Amino acid sequence: MKPSMHIAVIGYGSAGQALAVALSGDGHRVEVFERVPDPGPVGAGFLLQPTGLSVLWQLGLLDAALEHGAVVRRLHGETTASRTVMDMRYRELHPALFGLGLQRGAIFELLDRAWTEARRIHCGRGIVHVDHERGLLRDDLGDEHGPFDLVVVADGSASKLRAEIGEVVFDRPYPWGAQWCLVPAGDWPWPDELRQRYRHARRMVGMLPVGTRPGDPIPRLSFFWSLPAAALPDAGRDEARWRAEVAEIWPDAVERLQTTAVPDGLAQARYRDTVVRRWHRGRAVLVGDAAHSMSPQLGQGVNMALADALALRDALRAASALPEALDAYQRERRRHLDIYHFWSRWLTPLFQSEHDVVAGLRDLLFHPLSRVPGGRGQSLRILTGTRRGWFGRWPLPPDFIERLSNAGESR
């Protein structure tokens, strides 16, 4: 391959941003195509796991993320009757590990500021066709771009280009979605925990500390309200009823929403379950949710997108030809991802469904089973993103572990 390639990246979400930083840092000429006129963060907040943090560390962005994010040491879920369903602590896997709650706006700005090498981004240009053999793009205005040596499709879970590039096994929407918003943390009593409360599997409220963002020093929480996707268009139109329903699940959480406009102050999220057998064709390759969108139940979306970006960079470094690089990239990421697709698909009905009997069994058995010796470590590895295949482990460099240990001691 050429030591410096001309690369098109379609989409400027977390995957596209990380690709722009990583590939331009290797001397490639990167052009980004983003359909919205003014790119910005989409969503409220998320939990960066050790896998995602290790990618930021390799990109030189870990310190900036730690400056803004909220260290999360425990994940706790309970029923409305205060019965513990989930209780996971990072230290039980390794004393240095933790998650980092981060605002979408914070990660967007950190990655955006880091792309300084020959920056070129085309906004308001939705790509509608990719000629994967010649590396040519056509946008929604009818203009043609290229040719490019490599086209990276990172246009998200609702990708319009997935079927042109990949061999799609299935691509279907999840029947459940969510409403999101950010609220001031104030004197929230669980500043280093992701807390969730459940009423069967029909309703879930989540509160995640997500720290600050550049230009806004107020620590915030990310609020999550699970609903059937079909109910999202009307959710909150009757504000009093909406607040009463949330209060039935968790009064402490709804108190934090006193200044939140309902429904206008709530973002909506919908999810897809997508399996693609082959991620690349010709000069084009899928990355992030365009390649492997899944339920948010395991909270791995951004982490997997960041890992994809670094894996593609490394595959391009190591291979002598583009087909070899793209094959290596897909093999490496599938070894990591397939187990998460499996567990995400099977765990989601336990937390987002109308199956009350299944939810009842979850409430009785999920926590005790997670305490079984051997099973505990497996559960924690799935949680932290460090499971690779059924029994393998995602490698975390010793220098990175040492950096996390120092950061954890100072927080």
3-state secondary structure of 193: strand
Q: What is the pLDDT of residues 26-42, one digit of tens each?
A: 999 999 999 999 988 87
Compute the average pLDDT of residues 297-321: 92
pLDDT, mean of residues 322-349: 91
pLDDT digits (tens, 9 = 90+) for 61-108: 999 999 999 999 999 999 999 999 999 999 999 999 999 999 999 999
pLDDT, tens digit, 9 for 90 and up, residues 190-226: 999 999 999 998 999 999 999 999 999 999 999 999 9
Q: Are 350 and 362 in contact (CB under 8 A)?
A: yes
Q: Has residue 256 been placed in a domain?
A: no
pLDDT band at residue 133 under the 50/70/90 scheme: very high
Q: Is a pLDDT exceeding 80 seen at residue 328?
A: yes
| Chain centroid, CA 161 distance in Å | 20
In the predicted structure, residue 411 carries a pLDDT above the cut 80: no
- Give the total number of structural domains in the chain: 1
- DSSP letters, 335-396, are HHHHHHHHHHHHHHHHHSSS-HHHHHHHHHHHHHHHTSTTHHHHHHHHHHT-EETTTEE---
Instruction: Pinpoint the alpha helices (H) of 274-321.
Output: 289-292, 301-318
Q: Is residue 326 part of a domain?
A: yes
For position 119, which CATH number holds? Answer: 3.50.50.60
In a domain, 302, yes or no: yes
Going by C-alpha positions, the residue among 381, 410, 403 that lies closest to residue 394 is 381
Domain membership flag for residue 301: yes
153 domain residue, yes or no: yes
Would you say 311 and 286 are in contact if contact means Cβ atoms under 8 Å apart? no
Q: What is the DSSP letter of 397?
A: -
Residues paired with 209 in a beta bridge: 221
Domain holding 10, by residue range, is 6-174+271-410
CB 283 within 8 A of CB 150: yes
Question: Quick one: tokens of 355?
Answer: 């199956």
Are β-strands 6-10 and 29-34 bridged in parallel, bridged antiparallel, or unpaired?
A: parallel
* 165 located within any domain: yes
Q: Phi and psi for 302 in degrees, rounded to 5?
A: -65, -40
Q: What percent of the chain has pLDDT over 70?
A: 100
Quick: pLDDT tens for 349-364. Answer: 888 889 989 899 989 8
Q: Is there a domain that residue 243 lies in?
A: no
Which of 240, 101, 226 lies closest to 176, judged by CA?
A: 226
Residue 307 counted as domain residue: yes
Q: What is the pLDDT of residue 3?
A: 85
